[in-house]
């Protein structure tokens, strides 16, 4: 019988390096655990604002991910920091986290029966290098009955969710018509893309 492998290709690429997640989000921590590599989680003080000159969603999420990655420093020589930011983008504007249940219901009414994008910007940062990329996923909702909107908002309280929903919850199971792109990106982190990018980033030293 073959000896079980103890390392994956990313573990080998990161030998001698320390991976740091610039987030304390339970969902992102869970995703990092699934990458199968050791990591630390730490954050700094970040004001999640961007210049008015940025109007493209892809540029905005990359800008915010850079803020988070830079705020988690200072970097030790062996560290690689990963910062990430996710926005729901519809009608040319971001839909952030709702302030209350009324705003959550209004957001879901706006998404009902339509297609929107979920954009995640990711920044990889070391002492000598930095790169950012964006992953985009198109999500189409079926028409959502107002009773189902009220049920979801009152039962699941999605006030901490961009776009007022989590695809892995009831509303995703019952009202998503289609997804084009990474499912994990919609949940909060494009793990497949991140895995490949991290290997290349680490190889550059």
**Residues recognised as catalytic:** 85
- Between CA 205 and CA 203 the distance in angstroms is 5
Cis bond upstream, residue 74 (ω within 30): yes
- Between CA 82 and CA 68 the distance in angstroms is 8
What residues have CB less than 8 Å from 119, skipping those under 6 apart?
57, 58, 60, 61, 86, 87, 88, 89, 134, 135, 136
- Between CA 54 and CA 100 the distance in angstroms is 27
User: What residues form DSSP beta bridges with 21?
Assistant: 41, 82
Q: Is the dihedral of CA 127, 128, 129, 130 positive or negative?
A: positive
**28-50: string of b/e by CB count within 10 Å (b at 16+)?**
beebbeebebeeebeeeebeeeb
């Amino acid at each position: 019988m073959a000896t079980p492998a103890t390392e994956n290709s990313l573990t080998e690429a990161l030998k001698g390096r320390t991976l740091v997640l610039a987030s304390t989000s339970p969902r992102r921590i869970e995703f990092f655990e699934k990458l199968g590599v050791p990591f630390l989680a730490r954050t700094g003080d970040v004001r999640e604002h961007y210049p008015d000159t940025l109007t493209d969603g892809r540029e905005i999420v990359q800008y915010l991910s850079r803020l988070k990655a830079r705020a988690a420093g200072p970097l030790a020589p062996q560290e690689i920091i990963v910062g990430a930011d996710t926005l729901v983008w519809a009608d040319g504007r971001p839909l952030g986290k709702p302030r209350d249940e009324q705003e959550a219901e209004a957001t879901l009414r706006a998404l009902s029966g339509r297609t929107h994008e979920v954009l995640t910007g990711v920044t990889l940062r070391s002492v000598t290098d930095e790169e950012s990329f964006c992953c985009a996923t198109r999500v189409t909702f079926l028409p959502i009955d107002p009773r189902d909107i009220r049920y979801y908002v009152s039962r699941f309280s999605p006030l901490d969710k961009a776009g007022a929903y989590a695809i892995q919850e009831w509303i995703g199971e019952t009202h998503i018509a289609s997804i084009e792109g990474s499912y994990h990106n919609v949940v909060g982190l494009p793990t497949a893309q991140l895995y490949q990018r991290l290997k290349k980033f680490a190889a550059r030293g």
